[in-house]
């Protein structure tokens, strides 16, 4: 699921239109063939700025702390960094399942490709909000498509037609006979229950994939502040939004909170998972409720169906509120404990 972050209230260096005088960041990324940091930086001695064995960013030893020396005579105008990601392509065949998250990756890229908006904090927040809502709609669309196939086409239409079900023996337990009678599963509402397994499993698969990426990457705290060379603050260090300092001239990739999205991404993961299950619940209840309302003597089931729809709508409002709430900034890692429901 998406790993979107909302920029903090204070404008970054790019948003201020380059008020801070500092060196530019030259990011070097190798191709699929792979390369070592020494080859990319053309230096014998390199140091890891951030990352781990799987993927990491490196600098030349002499470039560590170059931002602090940017005003000195002879300081470089650009600092090269090498991003080595060759180990990301190795692994078992389960990595192919990550293609399901490809649409969400595109939304994340759209977030980070936002042009600089000097002093327009409201516009920046609105941009992030719209992208988070777009990512949520992708989850609903994906699960809704599975519901359309499994619940509507298979269980409701094909299994409800004796002619269609006769050509598919695996639907025999849900199909009525020519006279309209059948087993316990032949009732329209009951046929939807076994068909709901497919979109439910799909939602669980999305949760599992997003949790793997979340635990492997977003949950890993920055091992040190690469530009300061000091250890990161402890887990109880909390900096509220209104207390966070503005960026001090360092590139966003060097900010200690850029890569650490444990709390925010956990919240978004929970919201997207809930949206997926709510989509399945809506597909189950809406059609069955309409069928009960058109059946004589079904006042009790119809009222129960309306109550279920009201609860689903309330849960959907809670999901939207979670997605629309602000995230954190990048200047400071957000180490506050996760909410119980995240």
**29 within 8 A of 85, measured Cβ to Cβ:** yes
Distance CA 266, CA 250 (A): 27
Residue 69 · residue 75 · CB < 8 Å: yes
Q: What digits encode the pLDDT tens for the residues 111-125? A: 888 877 777 878 888
- pTM summary value: 0.72
**Main-chain phi, psi angles of 182, to 5 degrees:** -175, -165
User: Which residue from 304, 77, 331 is spatially nearest to 222, judged by alpha carbons?
Assistant: 331
Give the whole-angstrom CA distance, residue 90 versus residue 107. Answer: 25
- Cα(220)–Cα(223) distance, integer angstroms: 8
Report the relative pairing of strands 24-29 and 78-84 from DSSP bridges: parallel
Quick one: pLDDT at residue 342?
47
Comparing 58-67, 204-213, 217-226, 318-327, the range with the smallest average pLDDT is: 217-226
Question: Region 50-71: what's the mean pLDDT?
Answer: 82
pLDDT per position as a tens digit, 169-186: 888 788 776 666 767 777
Instruction: Give the residue with greater pLDDT, 1 vs 217.
Output: 217
pLDDT tens for 122-154 read: 888 888 899 999 999 999 999 999 999 999 999
Three-state secondary-structure class, residue 29: strand
User: What is residue 27's three-state secondary structure?
Assistant: strand
Q: What backbone phi and psi angles, to 5 degrees, belong to 20? A: -80, 130
* Domain edges within the chain: 92-324
């Amino acid at each position: 699921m998406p790993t979107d972050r909302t920029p903090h209230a204070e404008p970054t260096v790019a948003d201020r239109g380059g008020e801070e005088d500092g060196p530019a960041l030259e990011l070097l990324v190798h191709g699929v063939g792979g390369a070592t940091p020494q080859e990319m930086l053309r230096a014998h001695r390199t140091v890891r700025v951030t990352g781990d064995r799987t993927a990491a960013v490196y600098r030349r030893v002499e470039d560590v702390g170059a931002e602090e020396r940017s005003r000195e005579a002879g300081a470089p105008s650009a600092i090269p960094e090498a991003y080595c990601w060759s180990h990301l392509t190795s692994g078992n065949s389960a990595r192919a399942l990550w293609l399901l998250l490809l649409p969400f990756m595109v939304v994340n890229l759209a977030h980070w490709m936002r042009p600089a908006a000097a002093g327009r904090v409201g516009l920046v927040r609105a941009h992030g909000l719209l992208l988070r809502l777009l990512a949520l709609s992708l989850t609903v669309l994906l699960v809704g498509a599975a519901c359309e196939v499994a619940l509507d086409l298979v269980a409701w239409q094909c299994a409800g037609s004796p002619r269609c079900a006769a050509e598919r023996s695996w639907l025999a337990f849900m199909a009525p006979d020519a006279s309209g009678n059948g087993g316990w599963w032949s009732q329209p509402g009951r046929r939807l229950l076994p068909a709901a397994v497919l979109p439910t499993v799909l939602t669980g698969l999305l949760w599992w994939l997003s949790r793997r990426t979340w635990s492997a990457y977003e949950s890993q705290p920055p091992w040190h502040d690469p530009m300061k060379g000091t250890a990161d603050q402890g887990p109880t260090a909390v900096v509220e939004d209104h207390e966070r300092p503005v960026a001090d001239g360092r590139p966003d990739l060097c900010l200690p909170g850029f890569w650490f999205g444990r709390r925010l991404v956990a919240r978004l993961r929970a919201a997207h998972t809930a949206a997926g299950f709510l989509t399945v619940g809506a597909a189950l209840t809406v059609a069955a409720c309409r069928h009960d309302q058109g059946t004589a003597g079904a006042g009790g089931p119809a009222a129960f169906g309306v109550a279920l729809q009201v609860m689903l709508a309330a849960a959907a409002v809670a999901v939207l509120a979670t997605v629309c709430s602000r995230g954190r900034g990048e200047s400071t890692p957000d180490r506050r404990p996760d909410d119980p429901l995240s």
